[in-house]
Amino acid sequence: MKPPITCIMLDDRRALKDGTYPVKLKITFQRQRKYYPTRFNMTEEDFASVMEKKPKPKFKDLQIQIQTIEHKAVKVIGDLTDFSFEAFEKKFLNRASKDDVFSAFKTQIDKLSKEGRAGTASSYGCAMKSIETFVDKSSLPFAAVTAEFLREYEQWMLSNKKSLTTVGIYLRTLRALYNDAIASGDAKQELYPFGKRKYVTPSGRNVKKALALTDIEKIFTYVPKHEGEERARDLWVFSYLCQGINVKDIARLRYRNLEEERITFIRAKTERTSRQNLKPITVVRTPEIDQIIERWGSKDAKADNFIFSLLEPDLSPERELARVRNITKEINKYIKRIAIAVGIEKNISTYSARHSFSTVLKRAGAPIELISEALGHSNLKTTESYLDSFEDKVKRRYSSALTAFSKEKE
């Protein structure tokens, strides 16, 4: 019995409204033919150009995408013990969905949501929506994600006033999905578009958010106008004093995390990704920290109760995420007002507390290893991205040493 024959063809029986024709996969078996859509529509001239042995650069990507579809069909046929169109369609159509970037996004978002990782799921959702808007299609095969595609997406993002940081965040999710697709056999390693001499995902290091010690003092000594300002200021200060603890971890602190001389907790960000090597963060309790807990802490100090009553027990991950975002928004609103009131020109936020903590330690001469441990980082490169440069007056003091010989002559 002859095996099925596959080919890519242009279905020119009826033109579409724009004058193009559907590109289809044709399977012929025992004198029976079936046609499967490929999501591509082309003119006869373009199709001929795509199918050339050595197409021009602008048609090369299309050729790769179309060949990938045919290669998948051939592989599915080869895996079948006995060919039938029904068996082929069951495996091929399922595999086709696995080859689709947006299907991979949806699968990962669903997985993250079930694991309670609402924040990461939200990040993947934002990335998917952005890429969907860029391609303006409901599907995107992994083979279509070339280095050129990624460069065009980056330029499109920048032209729409998005930062390189955002581009990096979104494309790191896509890179992770591409790696998963390769591992599962749904994408080809040789088509991988990321890396040297291909497309390098931008790290997007922004202008640092750390404050000078003199500005931090202004926040400490500011006299709030009302309770909303006072709580926002105190939570910002608490974050700064507690080694840059973020708002989510502040909200999750329970009285069982308090010990006589320290606070110990696991960062929510790492409790799932570093399960085999969880590193608790240890904060030395100071009088200022204890005063904030006394002022805003729950009066019912049972071990399982939240310290600051910012969350309610048994919230779903989605509701917890929404609540943390609202708290963060409120802190940022008031801390920006406070900054203006005391003459701080930087655009500060909750992130500034974390960056300021690490940078003040650096300027005090603390080893980067100590700062990295305090921040809960797994490697020093991550810590280095948090550290701001030295203040101008520090640089000036050391620069003067370069010409110290002239002063000696005087």
Predicted confidence at residue 296, as pLDDT, reads 95
Q: What is the mean pLDDT of the chain?
A: 86
| Backbone conformation region of residue 161, classed left if phi is above 0, alpha if psi is from -120 to 50, else beta | left
CA-angle at 61, arms to 36 and 167, nearest 5°: 110
Percent of the chain with pLDDT over 90: 49
Is the C-alpha dihedral spanning 221, 222, 223, 227 positive or negative? negative
Query: What are the C-alpha distances in Å from 97 to residues 30, 90, 101, 103, 118?
Result: 27, 11, 9, 6, 24
Q: What structural domains does the chain harbor?
A: 5-98 (no CATH), 101-191 (1.10.150), 213-396 (1.10.443.10)
pLDDT in tens, 253-276: 999 999 989 999 888 877 665 445
pLDDT in tens, 76-132: 898 888 888 888 887 787 655 678 899 899 989 988 888 888 888 999 999 999 999
**Whether residue 219 has pLDDT greater than 70:** yes
For residue 216, name the pLDDT band (cuts at 50, 70, 90). very high
For residue 359, name the pLDDT band (cuts at 50, 70, 90). confident
Q: What token pair was written down for 244? A: 């840059």
pLDDT in tens, 158-208: 999 999 989 999 999 999 999 998 888 888 899 999 998 899 998 755 556
For residue 293, name the pLDDT band (cuts at 50, 70, 90). very high
pLDDT in tens, 307-342: 999 999 888 888 998 999 999 999 999 999 999 999
Q: Write the CB contacts of 63 (distance below 8 Å, at least 6 apart in sequence).
A: 50, 51, 55
Per residue, what are the HEC states of the chain?
A: CCCCEEEEEECCCCCCCCCCEEEEEEEEECCEEEEEEEEEEECHHHHHHHCCCCCCHHHHHHHHHHHHHHHHHHHHHHHCCCCCHHHHHHHHHHHHHHCEHHHHHHHHHHHHHHCCCHHHHHHHHHHHHHHHHHHCCCCCEHHHCCHHHHHHHHHHHHHCCCCHHHHHHHHHHHHHHHHHHHHCCCCCHHHCCECCCCECCCCCCCCCCCCCHHHHHHHHHCCCCCHHHHHHHHHHHHHHHCCCCCHHHHHHCEHHHECCCEEEECCCCCCCCCHHHCCCEEEECCHHHHHHHHHHCCCCCCCCCECCCCCCCCCCHHHHHHHHHHHHHHHHHHHHHHHHHHCCCCCCCHHHHHHHHHHHHHHCCCCHHHHHHHHCCCCHHHHHHHCCCCCHHHHHHHHHHHHHHHHHHC
- Residue 291 has a CB neighbour count (10 Å cut-off) of 13
Residue whose pair of structure tokens reads 């590109």 in the numeric block: 23
- Whole-prediction pTM value? 0.60
For residue 213, name the pLDDT band (cuts at 50, 70, 90). confident
**Whether residue 71 has pLDDT greater than 80:** yes
